[in-house]
Amino acid sequence: MSKVSLHISKNSTNAIETFYKTAVKKIKTDSSATLLDSFCGHFINQDTERLTSVLEGHLHKKNYIKKHVKSAFSTAVEMIQNIRLHGSRIEQKTPGCYITFSEGSSLSIQTANLISNAEVPVLIQRISDLKSLQNTQLKQRYIDRLAKGSISLKGGAGLGLLTILSKCNGKISTKFVNISNEYSIFSMTTTLPLEHA
């Protein structure tokens, strides 16, 4: 490992960690928000199952409407798998973070990962395009994508973002933070309804 790559790796991981700490601190100081779960580190395959099962267990225990629990679970799965499938890998590791918090009758799920700077304009355009669609258009886009029916070698199907947008009914915010000549942090926050049964 060269000194240069070690430097890039450390800087990128530190940037994600700083981003995560700032986000968690903001939630903790907000009296109307309750932090449910959070994780920052290198994402591995088992993290999807581990983090979503914690979320599902928590929501079941609080007796929220089953439909809302399922939507939250589904959105969390897609968001975490997005990190694993599309997050930049540094020395074969995928740094990222995941935070869930409730606020009144809504649940927010926030994820962040690294992406190459070259991907930023493409992703901005894609999100902006999808967000501009009405529900019926979004559904049509989903059907068109499904009909094409292809899965990448990594396992991505191109339906993840469409699924996330449809679950949260367009309540999604994204943020891009440039951290170096090579990488930016891509953060996505979705807000979903959460009501007691």
Partner 1 sequence: MRKLIVEPTSNTPEITLDPTQGYFSITGRSFPENSRKFYTPILDWFDAFDPMHSKNYRFNFNLNYINSSSIISLFELLKKLSKIKKNTGCSFDVEWMHESDDETIRKIGEDFTKLTDMPLTLKVVHTQ
Q: Which residues form the interface with partner 1 (CB under 8 A)?
A: 45, 48-49, 53, 66-67, 70-71, 73-74, 77-78, 81, 84-85, 143, 146-147, 149-157, 159-160, 162-163
> Closest separation between CB of residue 2 and partner 1, Å?
30
CB of 39 closer than 8 Å to CB of 98: yes
Nearer to partner 1, 124 or 146 (CB): 146
The alpha-helical segments, DSSP class H, found in 30-65 are: 46-61
In 105-171, the DSSP E strands lie at 106-116
Nearer to partner 1, 48 or 100 (CB): 48
> Closest separation between CB of residue 50 and partner 1, Å?
10
> Closest separation between CB of residue 155 and partner 1, Å?
3
Nearer to partner 1, 61 or 148 (CB): 148
Collapsing DSSP states into helix, strand and coil, what is residue 95?
strand
CA 89 to each of CA 92, 116, 127, 147: distance values in angstroms, whole numbers, following the listed order: 5, 10, 22, 30
> Closest separation between CB of residue 188 and partner 1, Å?
15
Q: Beta partners for 192?
A: 107
Count other C-beta atoms under 10 Å from residue 135's C-beta: 11
Nearer to partner 1, 26 or 139 (CB): 139
